[in-house]
Amino acid sequence: MAKAPKHKTSDDSTVELLRKAATHVFAEKGYGGATVKEIAEAAGVNISLISYHFQGKEGLFRSCLEEFGSARLAESEKILTAPESLEDLKAKLKLWSRQFLTCHAEEPELCSIINRENLFEMDAVKDVFQNTFLKSFEAMVKFFQSAKKQGIVRKEMDPLTITAFYFGAIIHTGHSDAVAKEYFNRSIRNEKDREELIDQFVSMILKGIS
């Protein structure tokens, strides 16, 4: 006999509502400016449910970041395995860049929070930063280290510097998308624009390191 499909419980729905509302409020007002009252009102639930599900604003903020950061880490570790050739490096770098920019296009508020807050200096979420976002960065460092060992990347190139340069460029592109859209009519929300940007980024980095 086939199993009946699972349905989300009321608690699951409330958690999702609160995360969604909190993401909006945190993106708009910052962690310091957001209040649990505003988040509860945005979610349309009783304020006490924030304490019940997340033990307060800090726990809710952590939950939003942990879920997002863990997903980004999983993608990085899945994609950025040791490249076997220059073409393999190029393909994996494009794939990683695509998921990263698509994420910025589809979840701009969460990305805005990360770009806005200095997570490394926030005691409440410093461990989340270290265990997810920083590890995603480290996955790329290891990726370029592997490429260097195999002679794909020139021996004088520093994998940490390459990663910092590439990460910075990609992050800035996501962060400045509204400006690019308004003044240059180009946006990562447009798939064609996004693919052209990825081709440009990967081409520039490969010409510099290989």
**Phi then psi for 161, rounded to 5 degrees?**
-65, -40
pLDDT tier, 10 (very low <50, low <70, confident <90, very high otherwise): low
What gap in Å lies between CA 189 and CA 165, rounded to an integer? 23
Q: What is the mean pLDDT of residues 60-87?
A: 94
Do 29 and 107 fall into the same domain?
Answer: no
pLDDT digits (tens, 9 = 90+) for 100-155: 999 889 998 988 888 888 888 888 889 999 999 999 999 999 999 999 999 999 99
Residues 73 and 146 in one domain: yes
CB 119 within 8 A of CB 125: yes
> Residue 60 domain-assigned?
no
Q: Do 116 and 36 fall within a single domain?
A: no
Q: Domain of residue 145: give its range.
A: 65-209
CA atoms in the 13 A half-sphere facing the CB of 142: 13
- Give the C-alpha separation, 53 to 15, whole Å: 7
Residues 112 and 15 in one domain: no
Q: Please tell me the predicted confidence (pLDDT) of residue 7.
A: 33
**Domains: count for the chain:** 2
Residues 85 and 46 in one domain: no
CATH number of the domain enclosing 105: 1.10.357
* pLDDT score, position 60: 95
Label each residue of the chain as H, E or C. Answer: CCCCCCCCCHHHHHHHHHHHHHHHHHHHHHHHHCCHHHHHHHHCCCCHHHHHHHCCHHHHHHHHHHHHHHHHHHHHHHHCCCCCCHHHHHHHHHHHHHHHHHHHHHCHHHHHHHHHCCHHHCCCCHHHHHHHHHHHHHHHHHHHHHHHHCCCCCCCCCHHHHHHHHHHHHHHHHHCHHHHHHHHCCCCCCHHHHHHHHHHHHHHHHHHHC
Q: Are residues 121 and 188 in the same domain?
A: yes
Residues 119 and 78 in one domain: yes
Q: Are 79 and 183 in the same domain? A: yes
Shared-domain flag, residues 122 and 49? no
Query: To which residue do tokens 């296009």 refer?
Result: 105
CATH classification at residue 29: 1.10.10.60
* Confidence category of residue 2, pLDDT binned at 50, 70, 90: very low
Q: Is residue 3 part of a domain?
A: no
